[in-house]
Amino acid sequence: MSSFARKSSLAAYHSVSVHGNVANADPHGMVQMLMDAAAERMVTARSCIERGEIARKASLLHSCVTLIAELRGSLNMAEGGPLAQNLSALYEYMTRQLLMANVESDVQKITEVLGLLNEIRGAWIAIGPEVRKVANPTKATVSAGVEAR
């Protein structure tokens, strides 16, 4: 099997795996997948800066901004109260930092945003078992300041 065929097969497997995870995920799991994807791309974007892969860095950071916009868009501002408002402001700050990191090829800005995201992600993972205990997933995600989509 050629190198191209192996990469194509691996990419196809990864695509099926990701789509399967999305199809089976509850709203809490979907948010976690968005956070995981953004964190993974930030780590890779930092490496791209160090290797001088500017185009790939730009693509990865653009993807991060899109993922964070999805996280921000999933907030239930009507019922989430101060938690949703604070998360929205933090996601907006993170987006600005990533845009500046892209323009300036600034590893430190990416590291800062990654740290913030990991803090949010850690709290999100910690509430997972409690959220999943609730029979109605809509009520569980609303109480966490996130809408079910």
Average pLDDT over residues 135-143: 48
Amino acid 115: pLDDT? 98
Q: In the beta sheet, which residues pair with residue 146? A: 75
The pair of three-digit structure tokens given for residue 82, joined into one six-digit string? 């101060």
Tens of pLDDT, residue by residue over 109-118, are 999 999 999 9
Per-residue model confidence (pLDDT) at position 20 = 47
The confidence score (pLDDT) of residue 4 equals: 46
Q: How do residues 33-82 score in pLDDT, each as one tens digit?
A: 999 999 999 999 999 999 999 999 999 999 999 999 999 999 999 999 99
Q: Where are the domains of the chain?
A: 25-143
Please report which confidence band the pLDDT of residue 96 belongs to, taking 50, 70 and 90 as the band edges: very high
CB atoms within 10 A of CB 101: 24
Q: Which fold has domain 25-143?
A: Four Helix Bundle (Hemerythrin (Met), subunit A) (1.20.120)
- Between CA 66 and CA 56 the distance in angstroms is 15
